[in-house]
Every structure is written in C-alpha cells, then in structure tokens.
Amino acid sequence: MPRKTGLSFISILIFLLVVTTMSEGAFKKEDIKVFKLDNGLKVILYEDHKIPNISYYTFFKVGSRNERPGLTGVSHFIEHMMFNGTQKFGPGEFDRLMEFYGGANNAYTSDDMTAYTDWFPPLALEKMVEMEADRMQGLIFDPEVFESERGVVASERRMGVENNNEAILQENVRATAIMAHPYHWDVIGWMSDILNWRRDEVIQYYRTYYAPNNAVLVVVGDFDSQKTLELIKKYYSSIPSQTPPPPVTTTEPPQMGRKEVVIKKEAQTPSFMVVYHAPKCQDPDFFALSILEKPLLRGESSRLYRRLVRDEQLAISVFGGIEEKIDPYLFTIFVKPRPGVDLDKIEKIIDEELHKVIEQGLTDQEYQKALNLIRSDFYFSLQTNSGKANLLGAAELLFGSYEQLFTLIDRYAQVKREDIPGVARKYFHELNKTVGKLIPQGGNQ
C-alpha cells in the first residue's frame, strides 16, 4: 500500500472550496466599520446578511497576565460572576433571557484576555445590547453567590489540575520555566489565592478592568450598522471610563541553563514534556516557529509522531507547539509515554529531531504542507459569524489592531523555508530548555 504524502486529495479540495467561497463573499477590511465612544469603548462592526444571526463579542483586555500574587485566578473568577446578577437582571436572568430570545452564549478567560460571546437572532439585538452593557459595570457580587462561586472555582481547580497528572506536570513546568513574568501561573490561579480572595479586592479589580476604555465590542452578522451603533450609544455611553489599568512591565529574564522538574506520584503511566522560551506573537520569529510546529508535531505524519509513536514505539501520543501571546511565552512538546519507557531516551530523540531541523531544515513538501494547513485553519475560522468576531477581537488585543488579521497570512508567507533553521537554532538549545517528568510513584522512568 503506497505511503500517503502531503495533504490528502479531499483536504486539498476542501481547502480550495473554502478559498473559493471566501473570494465570492469576500471578507474585506474596507467593509468593517469602526467607532469609538466618548468613554473609550471601541466598537467594530461587520455586516453579513447571509444568515439571520448576529455574533456579539465583548473583549476585555484582562487575563491572568494582569494579576498579582494573592489575586491569581481572579480574572477567571469574574468570568463566573458575570453570569450571577446585577441590580437590573438577577442571578440566572441573563441566561434565561438569552434562551427566551433564541440565543446562546459562552465566555472564556485566557492569559491575555477575557471574552463574552453571544449568538442570537436579529430581533433580540436591543435586549442583548442592554444586558451586556448592564453587566459591564453593574455586577452586584452578592456575598452568598460570591462564596458559592469561590467553591465552584476551587472544585474546578481540584478536578482540572490537582486530580489530573498531565495538568500538574504542565503547571509545575510552566512555573519553573517562567520565573518573573505573570505567565508564571495558570489562568485558574493558585488554590491558596482562590480560598482567600477578598470581596472588596475583587470588586476593585472588576471596576478597573471591566471599563469601557479597556474593552472592545465586535458585532458581526445580520444587522444595520447605523441602527446598531445608536443602540450601543444608548446603553453604553453612560458607563464612565476608569483610570487606565497599570501596564504589565515585567520582562522574563533570559534562562541561563537547562532546568528539570521531576514529580513522583501515584499514576498509571508516566508523562513527559519539554518547553523552550519562545517569542510573542508580534515577533517575526513567531511565524517561523508556527510553521515549524506543523511538520514537527501535527498529525501522524509529523516527525516526532513518526519517531516516538510509530517507529520507536515509546509513546502513545505527542503534541504541542507555540501559542499566540502578547508577551514571550513557551514552545511546548508534550509526550504521553508508554508504561515503563526510559524518559531520558524520549528527551534524546526530541533533541535529535530538533538538531535535524537546525542542521537540515524542512523539506519543500513539509514547508508547503505547513503553509497549506495554516491557510486552511485560518479560512475555515472565517466561515462563520462567530469565527469572524472572535478573530477580529483577538487580532485587536493580541496584535494591536483588527487590521492585522488581514495581513496574517502574508506574514506567514514572508517566512522563507531557509529562514527556519536559523530561528530553530535561536530557541531550541540547552540554555533555553525546561524538562518535565512525571514518574509513577514507586516505578521506574
């Protein structure tokens, strides 16, 4: 049976279909309308009348990056509290009204931002604008609900981190690799902080960061821009701006040598990961490493999957890569080893494969496949109103402007295949490396 190479025929057809669809109903920067209210709220509007639906996304420039020791995890906690009532709309009323109008909603908190995502039919627009504006500065933080949600978040941490061996290893490796920058802790925060948040401090944090001058509103879908802007002005203009939040000024110092984390605890199988300090998403090197991530880690044809899973049969899975962050973060390689394997051998093979990239680079086929995967992922995300809204908001917060969304693919294309070995050499070396091993208690590596 012949070995498959490159993208499959059906994948290429899907990619071409997506690109054709995009060109027919072109998503163009020129069709986006941008406004700024007197209180600093930035509003990004894009009309798309293909389906009777609106995506209404509110982005706040706050995440775990903006926290401090003692208040870690508070950004995620406030996300919980945003669904627990204002003076105007009581606990649970937001979700009840959303469902009544035929809509749905969600939210997420990351290291760099918090986003509230609504999808609903056009007839519900005014009610949704009213509710979102109301909770921007109107949360009541009822003491009883506050304590209840504290318990929910603490339970989330126990289940998602403390009872999850992979998550324990990732948290420890992250905190070891990153010493100074607030990326040191995860979005969920430390348990001791969760159990000791003070209500007055949380309210002050909310007032500071949930201000119109620290927010971006993105609306995509079946609406009239002028009428929508008038609704936004009606409900948001009375919300006062706040003193701008303090900037994050801490810079992670260069790592000065290989670090290793070894955790021994009860587990069925070992876990292994290695991380390297990596650039922020606006750095040109980010795009080169993002291209390299695909042939190195993505899919069963990737170099590390072939070597560790298929050929050497040392692992069950391998994954990772680089993430879009405002500040420099990490390039991660996570391996799920088979029971009883030598973790040092896994590290040695990863070193060998990275050395091959540094010395020999990528093949033209690997390079072109990576670019095709990046384009395919990008254009698929733009097929829906919610995808457009999320990418516009993320570009505004991560890259500094929604306009950067329209040049991202060009920035990937500017990376030449021969540039990649030099970028790999810059980051994938021993002084920049942190290794993590979780060894079943009483067992061997």
Q: pLDDT-derived band of residue 154, with 50, 70 and 90 as boundaries?
A: very high
| CA-derived radius of gyration, the chain | 23
- Torsional class of 320: left (φ above 0), alpha (ψ -120 to 50), beta (otherwise): left
Residue 300: DSSP 8-state:
T
Tell me the C-alpha distance between 44 and 46, whole Å. 7
Residue 366 has pLDDT above 80, yes or no: yes
Arithmetic mean of pLDDT over the chain: 94
Residue tagged 């969760």 (tokens): 194
Q: Please give the single-letter amino acid code of residue 253.
A: P
- What is the pLDDT, as a whole number, of residue 223? 98
- What is the pLDDT, as a whole number, of residue 26? 85
Residue 442 has pLDDT above 90, yes or no: no
Q: Strand pairing of 54-60 and 42-47?
A: unpaired
- The residue ranges of DSSP E strands in 50-151, in sequence order, are 54-60, 104-109, 114-120
Other C-beta atoms closer than 10 Å to the C-beta of 130 total: 16
- What is the pLDDT, as a whole number, of residue 25? 60
- In this prediction the pTM is 0.93
Looking at the chain, the domain(s) classified CATH 3.30.830.10 span 29-237, 259-441
**What's the residue count for the chain?**
445
Residue 12 has pLDDT above 50, yes or no: no
Backbone angles phi, psi at 378, to 5 degrees: -65, -50
Q: Confirm if 157 and 81 have CB atoms less than 8 A apart.
A: no
Residues of the chain with pLDDT > 90, as a percent, come to: 93
Tell me the C-alpha distance between 77 and 194, whole Å. 9
Q: pLDDT-derived band of residue 155, with 50, 70 and 90 as boundaries?
A: very high
Mean pLDDT of 119-140: 97
* Token couple for 277: 């300090």
Q: pLDDT-derived band of residue 390, with 50, 70 and 90 as boundaries?
A: very high
Q: pLDDT-derived band of residue 21, with 50, 70 and 90 as boundaries?
A: very low
Tell me the C-alpha distance between 441 and 443, whole Å. 5
Residue 15 has pLDDT above 70, yes or no: no
Q: Please give the single-letter amino acid code of residue 23.
A: S
Mean pLDDT of 278-287: 98
Q: Which has the closest alpha carbon to 285: 431, 414, 111, 435?
A: 414
Tell me the C-alpha distance between 110 and 75, whole Å. 9
Return the CATH superfamily for domain 29-237: Metalloenzyme, LuxS/M16 peptidase-like (3.30.830.10)
Q: Confirm if 222 and 48 have CB atoms less than 8 A apart.
A: yes
Q: Beta partners for 264?
A: 439
CATH for 259-441 (3.20.20.70, 3.30.1370.60, 3.30.830.10, 3.50.30.40): 3.30.830.10
Other C-beta atoms closer than 10 Å to the C-beta of 10 total: 8
